[in-house]
Amino acid sequence: MTQPELHPITNGSEAAPTALHPDTLLIHAGDEHNLTAAVVPPIWQTSTYKAPSLPEDFSTLASSVNPAHFYSRHGNPTNDQVQAILARLEHTETSLVTASGMGAITAAVLSVVKSGDHIVTQSSLYAATVLLFRNLLSKFDVSVSYVDQTDVAAFEAALQPNTTLIYVETPSNPSMKLTDLAAIARLAKSRGVMTMCDNTFASPVNQRPADFGIDLVLHSATKYLGGHSDLTAGAVCGSEKTVEAAWRTMIITGASLASFDSWLLLRGLRTLNMRVEKSNQNALALAAFLESHPKIAHVFYPGLASHPQHTLAAAQMTGFGGMMSFELAGATEALQFDAAQTVVRETKLATNAVSLGGVETLIVHPASMWSLHYSAAEKKSMGISAGLLRLSVGIEHAGDLIRDFEQALAQIK
Ligand SMILES: Cc1ncc(COP(=O)(O)O)c(C=O)c1O
């Protein structure tokens, strides 16, 4: 694995174009958008802004893209600061923040596809993204093919003359499979197809899809970018042209990021690198412990040599992330289910809650959480087995986490 590349500040910044490490970018990129003397910019708690004195200036403002001082559905100064940071982290020309990850995904996808188009995507995807494709886009005559994300040839075989988008997510939930970003970008470019990657699980600290040629990078900023489980937000990172198209869709769908959540996101971003690096270390230590434990049948973590795509992970990720899943051993499905429930109940440091990417360790048992939502066959196709647990590893002390799981596992009958 290589260290994250230094990235020069050039994007509309007054600063000299010197190469700065992401640690520094997180603190200083976008400073030019803090238009006050306050070191910590204020929360722009206003829905509207006074017009410039010249009517023609107001008219220019009213038709400008993502303006900071017009109307808060169109933008605000804190969003500009966050967007400058995210673009530099993701190595894209620019970025857009939205009210949630789904707000970002919906704005990006709807800005690209039109009636009659076809999308190729992977079968393992965030559940609400599948709902967007199945329940919303189907109403507008957009068809979608789902393929095995580990098989680049399957993406190629699924392409049709009307395919306009390849949509991927890597690593994906809950089986932690990877998609080969460079291969997908190469394939798409050779066929004139656009690409999008949901980079939520990895975060830009561990993976920068634009470096491999992916056109648009999407985030649930609710997760690692915010990092404290206290906001919902999303992001679209890409070229000026594609991000402008997403912004034009976002102001129609109304998924604009509110001032307070934007301020919290800026605050959370300051420590992104430190938080993610600690989660990476904790996850690797915990994965190695769990893999060696007799009551665990399997650990799915890209940082383990046993992961079938470990080589790809080492090539396209600069850290393996804080997300993992593992299966409890047991002679029958019922015993595996009970063992998983015991671990969830007995861990003291892992909170049983959805979401991920916060400073605290979270655990979920997908088979029980989704028991009313998905049929047994659907759960099977999604890789949700009876004994599977998903972990978002936080930034607690690794030794404490390992001891906690050790005592929880010891309580399985
Ligand atoms: C991979 C991934 N993408 C997108 C989303 C949607 O994000 P949000 O809940 O912020 O809309 C989530 C939420 O869990 C997610 O895990």
Q: What is the mean pLDDT of the chain?
A: 94
pTM listed for this prediction: 0.95
Question: Which atom from ligand 1 is nearest to the alpha carbon of 105?
Answer: 4
Q: Are strands 296-300 and 323-328 parallel, antiparallel or unpaired?
A: antiparallel
Residue 17: is its pLDDT beyond 80?
A: no
Judge: domain 7-269, CATH 3.40.50.720: no
The whole-number average pLDDT for the span 263-275 is 98
Residues 80 and 40: their CA atoms lie apart, in Å, by 14
Query: Is the distance from the beta carbon of residue 327 to the nearest atom of ligand 1 less than 6 Å?
Result: no
Dist. CA 74–CA 113, nearest whole Å: 22
The yes-or-no answer on residue 198 being catalytic is: yes
Identify the active-site residue in 80, 88, 117, 126. 126
Could you confirm whether 248 is annotated as catalytic? no
Q: Cα–Cα distance between 183 and 211 in angstroms, integer?
A: 12
CA 52 to centroid of ligand 1, rounded, Å: 38
Which residue is closest in CA terms to ligand 1's atom 9?
A: 101
Cβ of residue 220 lying under 6 Å from some atom of ligand 1: yes
Question: Would you place residue 367 in the very low, low, confident or very high pLDDT band (cuts 50, 70, 90)?
Answer: very high
Burial class (CB in 10 A: 0-12, 13-18, 19+), 40: exposed
The better pLDDT of the pair 354, 381 is held by: 354
Give the distance (Å) from ligand 1 centre to CA of residue 369.
16
Name residue 392's beta-bridge partners. 323, 362
From residue 109, alpha-carbon distances to 49, 112, 271 in Å are 30, 5, 30
Q: pLDDT digit string (tens) for 238-254?
A: 999 999 999 999 999 99
**Beta strand 163-169 with 194-198: parallel, antiparallel or unpaired?**
parallel
Q: What is the pLDDT of residue 201?
A: 98
Is any atom of ligand 1 closer than 6 Å to the C-beta of 30? no
The mean per-residue pLDDT over the stretch 365-376 comes to 86
Q: At what angle do helices 333-346 and 398-410 cross, to 10 degrees?
A: 130
273-410: which CATH topology?
Aspartate Aminotransferase, domain 1 (3.90.1150)
Over range 24-43, report the average pLDDT.
94
pLDDT attached to residue 339: 98
Query: Residue 381: what pLDDT?
Result: 80
Please report, for the chain, the start and end positions of each structural domain, with discontinuous segments joined by +. Answer: 7-269, 273-410
* Fold match between domain 7-269 and domain 273-410: no
Q: What is the pLDDT of residue 8?
A: 47
CA of 101 to the centre of ligand 1 (A): 5
